[in-house]
């Protein structure tokens, strides 16, 4: 997944992290409310400034189109005026969240309260019947979106990378047989490889 939305995250939203994702959060009006949007680090997420409770809006760049995601949590009994979001809806917008939608005539809790709306063409939604919560995940895929490879994937100069590794091979071998603990050596070597990749990316 590239974009994930979580509702009812409450006060514990920052007690765990999602590897390789940046998390954007908006507090809710009650202790069990609040919403989060997690954006994969291969994308660039920008939060939109707004003053609407239990709502967060993120623009995600790095795909063939900029995608705007609006995440909403409505607590039970809360009246949401969705018209207040109208000015934020542009092309390629996804609105999703826990709306706690109901009408008195239903007199039942077995209802669809997690909803997703979008004006993105080529989208397909699927409810994944998994997990222990009464909220099943909704997976949205879009055949019209692809990764912008020119902006998100590094262009590493692999010949230069290989040449530098070859030149420094004896140095790292000597470091390995020194009294340095293996874990420390491994950590230093990994840091070196990451730094080298970034340097050769700039060539």
Give per-residue pLDDT as tens, 85-134. Answer: 888 999 999 998 887 755 444 444 555 567 888 998 888 888 887 765 66
Residues of each domain in the chain carrying CATH 3.60.10.10: 3-146
CATH of 3-146, one of 3.40.1160.10, 3.60.10.10, 3.40.50.720, 1.10.10.60: 3.60.10.10
pTM for the whole thing? 0.65
* Sheet order of strands, 67-73 included: 44-47, 55-61, 67-73, 93-98, 114-118
CA angle 102, 103, 104 (to 5 degrees): 125
Q: How many helices (H) and strands (E) does the chain have?
A: 3, 10
**Which positions ≥6 away from 136 have C-beta within 8 Å?**
114, 127, 128, 129, 130
List pLDDT tens digits, range 61-86. 988 889 999 998 877 666 666 788 88
């Amino acid at each position: 997944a590239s974009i994930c939305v979580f509702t009812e995250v409450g006060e514990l939203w920052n007690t765990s992290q999602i590897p390789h994702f940046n998390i954007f959060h908006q507090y809710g009006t009650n202790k069990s409310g609040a919403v989060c949007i997690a954006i994969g680090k291969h994308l660039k997420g920008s939060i939109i400034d707004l003053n609407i409770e239990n709502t967060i809006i993120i623009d995600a760049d790095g795909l063939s189109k900029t995608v705007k995601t609006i995440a909403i949590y409505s607590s039970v009994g809360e009246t949401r005026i969705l018209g207040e979001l109208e000015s934020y809806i542009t092309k390629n917008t996804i609105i999703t969240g826990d709306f706690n939608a109901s009408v008195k005539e239903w007199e039942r809790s077995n209802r669809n309260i997690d909803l997703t709306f979008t004006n993105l063409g080529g989208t397909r939604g699927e409810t994944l019947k998994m997990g222990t919560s009464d909220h099943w995940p909704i997976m949205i895929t879009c055949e019209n979106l692809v990764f912008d490879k020119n902006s998100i994937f590094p262009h590493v100069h692999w010949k230069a990378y290989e040449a530098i590794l070859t030149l420094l091979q004896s140095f790292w071998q000597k470091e390995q047989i020194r009294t340095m603990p293996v874990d420390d050596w491994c950590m230093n070597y990994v840091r070196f490889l990451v730094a080298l990749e970034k340097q050769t990316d700039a060539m």
